[in-house]
Structure 1
């Protein structure tokens, strides 16, 4: 069975939970490293999604659409 693709918002919520857990808990070194790795991986996934969205917006702008950031 195929795994459901998580949305940007779902990934961001997971990252926020990881950060909150790291800030509020006394974790062992191994747990801290595992949470840090999870957070870094989520950050990379989120960054990739944002870059893809930016590329799609740029493509639309290059095709005659107005750049809303310059208005």
Structure 2
């Protein structure tokens, strides 16, 4: 799938869900929409995972000094 902004991918995914929930698509159309939705879902999940990896938490270590840690590591120590 070509590079697409997270927000745009999410909007397209929401539209696909609406289309599928309406239930007025042919089987072939529904399958195409479903496949596109799966691809968009994976794209969104990957973008969120990449963003999560970039987020860091400022926390105090045992010496009382502040240090930056990955989000997951900082959450485990709380």
| 3-state SS in 2 of match to 1:39 | helix
How many aligned positions are there? 65
TM-score, reference length from structure 1? 0.74
Task: Flag as ranges the 4+ runs of structure 1 deviating above 3 A.
Answer: none
Q: Does 1:6 align with 2:10?
A: no
Higher relative contact order (CA 8 A, sep 6+): 1
TM-score, reference length from structure 2? 0.68
Rounded Cα–Cα distance in structure 2 between residues aligned with 1:6 and 1:42: 9
| The structure with more helix, counted as a fraction of residues | 1
Cα RMSD (Å): 2.7
Paired position in structure 1 for 2:68: 64
Which structure has the greater CA radius of gyration? 2
- Where in structure 1 are there 5+ consecutive unaligned residues? none
Rounded Cα–Cα distance in structure 2 between residues aligned with 1:18 and 1:54: 26
| The structure with more strand, counted as a fraction of residues | 2
Residue 25 of structure 1 deviates from its aligned partner by 3.7
